[in-house]
Amino acid sequence: MSTNAHTDAHTETTTHGSSRDREIVDARVIVTCPGRNFVTLRIETRSGVVGLGDATLNGRELAVASYLQDHLVPNLIGRDAGRIEDIWQFFYRGAYWRRGPVTMTAIAAVDVALWDILGKMAGLPLYQLLGGRSREGALVYAHANGRDISEASEEVGKYREKGFLAVRAQCGVPGVKKAYGISSGGKPYEPAESELPAETVWSTPKYLEVVPKLFERLRADHGNDVELLHDVHHRLSPIEAARLARDVEPYRLFWLEDATPAENQKSFELIRQHSVTPLAVGEVFNSIWDCKHLIENQLIDYIRTTIVHGGGITHLRRLADFAGLHQVRTGFHGATDLSPVCMGAALHFDTWVPNFGIQEYMFHSEETNEVFPHDYVFRDGRLHVGDTPGHGVTIDEKLAARYPYSPKQLPIARLEDGSMWDW
Ligand code: KDG
Ligand code: MG
């Protein structure tokens, strides 16, 4: 693609440089595995400003790396990095094959890297570019999990001691060998642990028996002074989800997450008819179209779609504004498979977005934090971004190169009779 197709013939001068300074001269995909796989896009302008975007899609990392490398990067070289909206539209509208996790993750990586560059060129932190601070820090929730109810309750206590104001709680299900969200051997929970998907067995009746008991115990042990959350991880049918949402009502959950798969957005109507437990959904969504019905019919309270899987800041800003019109708040996905680059960008967004709800915060490993130095810090139950221009997250490429890609896929779930189920 010829360079002059993307740069202005006339010189467009701004306080911080011309379109020539902003010309994209390099874009590279970095794959690294400091304990888990991450894909990062690094974009550089002619004036030497570097921006980073997370492109990690757990278990499908190389598909996004190839989408970027083979299809987006060749279209980036020579373009004006300041044309963030036009580049987004070029890759979304211009692609013909729209949406889907691979495409939208790749577009997100480009978008976030460009916002990072804009912040660095302007000398401003990203939240300032978005419209400035709406709050002092982003309320976060941690993950407490235990092999049984007592262990889960102890874990909730540990997080409260660390200053967390909100905790997601999961516990083992008696009779189910490997329930979602439960780690083994005291290690942090990481679902993608083998080259081919691990097969787990699922029992809805056993699960529906234990969860209300878990939350009854947590309220008895910890009182009402802590926000409690729970992730069903798409395992229930709409009517089972309605039953669970009703059964946990006395324990005043902050939210019940992914109670049923949401390909059929109307299925949430059934849950709503039966319960006032707040509902969150959307970590697997990629665009506003995945949740339009859910939002405009006020079938959910929190939208979980986050920057890396939802087309970046440019698209998430639209989604959040649309959600705000319907009193739906943000509750961004923040598992460890989203890199610190995504977390940094998400926290700037959280610092600005008027209809903020909460941010998920699973801690990254030491190795990951060393590969991705960042300026956000945890204090008093909240994550606080720094004032570094851009999103405040960088990469130590030398260190990253010491951790080669290691193929890993997410597990699958089957019912006790062997039928495939939702993991
Ligand atoms: O890659 C899948 C994980 O991000 C997901 O299982 C984590 O459901 C999750 C959550 O709420 O963090
Ligand atoms: Mg989840």
**Strand runs labelled E in 196-326:** 199-202, 227-231, 255-257, 279-281, 302-303
For residue 37, give the ligand nearest its CA.
1
Residue 11 has pLDDT above 50, yes or no: no
Phi-psi map region of 51: left, alpha, beta (phi>0 left; psi -120 to 50 alpha): beta
Which residue's alpha carbon is nearest to atom 10 within ligand 1? 335
Q: How far apart are CA 388 and CA 179, in angstroms?
A: 41
Choosing from 127, 180, 361, 403, the catalytic residue is 180
Smallest CA separation from ligand 1 atom 6, residue: 191
| pLDDT at 15 > cutoff 80 | no
Above 60 in pLDDT, residue 13?
no
| Domains recognised in the chain with CATH numbers | 13-125 (3.30.390.10), 129-387 (3.20.20.120)
Q: State the pLDDT at residue 188.
A: 82
- How confident is the model over 70-87, as a mean pLDDT? 98
Tens-place pLDDT, residues 184-203: 766 788 999 899 999 999 99
What's the pLDDT score for residue 187?
Answer: 78
Is the minimum distance from the CB of 61 to ligand 1 under 6 angstroms? no
Give the CA distances from residue 303 to residues 154, 278, 284, in Å, rounded to whole numbers and listed in that order: 29, 11, 11
Which atom of ligand 1 is least distant from the CA of 335?
12
Average pLDDT over residues 266-285: 98
Residues 287-313 pLDDT 10s: 999 999 999 999 999 999 999 999 999
Number of other residues whose CB lies within 10 A of the CB of residue 364: 23
Ligand 1 mutation target, pool 337, 358, 423, most atoms within 8 A of CB: 337
Q: What is the position in ligand 1's atom list of the atom closest to the CA of 334?
A: 12
Burial of 222 (0-12, 13-18, 19+ CB in 10 A): middle
For the Cβ of 233 lying below 6 angstroms from any atom of ligand 1, the answer is yes
Ligand 2 centre distance from Cα of residue 260 (Å): 11
Does residue 104 surpass a pLDDT of 60?
A: yes
122: Cβ below 6 Å to ligand 1?
A: no
Best residue for ligand 1 mutational test, from 193, 231, 343 (most atoms within 8 Å of Cβ): 231
The rounded distance, in Å, linking the Cα atoms of 264 and 185 is 37
CA dist., res. 302 & res. 256, Å (int): 10
Atom of ligand 1 at shortest distance to CA of 360? 12
Average pLDDT on 144-151 reads 96
Q: Ligand 1: which atom is nearest the Cα of residue 338? A: 4
Higher pLDDT, 363 or 14: 363
Query: pLDDT value at position 6?
Result: 47
Q: Which atom of ligand 1 is nearest to the CA of 180?
A: 6
- The CA distance from 181 to 118, in Å, is 38
**pLDDT in the model for residue 16:** 55
Query: To test ligand 1's pocket by mutation, which of 233, 257, 339 has the most ligand atoms within 8 angstroms of CB?
Result: 233
Give ion ligand 2 contacts, CB < 5 A: 231, 283
Whether 180 is a known active-site residue: answer: yes
pTM: 0.95
Whether 233 is catalytic: yes
153-157 mean pLDDT? 97
Q: How buried is 284 (Cβ within 10 angstroms: 0-12 exposed, 13-18 middle, 19+ buried)?
A: middle
12: pLDDT confidence band, cut at 50, 70 and 90?
A: very low
- For residue 210, is pLDDT > 50? yes
Has residue 10 got a pLDDT over 50? no
pLDDT above 50 (res 381): yes
Distance from the alpha carbon of residue 335 to the mean position of ligand 1, in angstroms: 6
Per-residue pLDDT at 18: 86
pLDDT at 8 over 60: no
pLDDT confidence of residue 60: 98
Is the CB of residue 335 below 6 angstroms from any atom belonging to ligand 1? yes
Q: In whole angstroms, what is the distance from residue 24 CA to residue 360 CA? A: 33
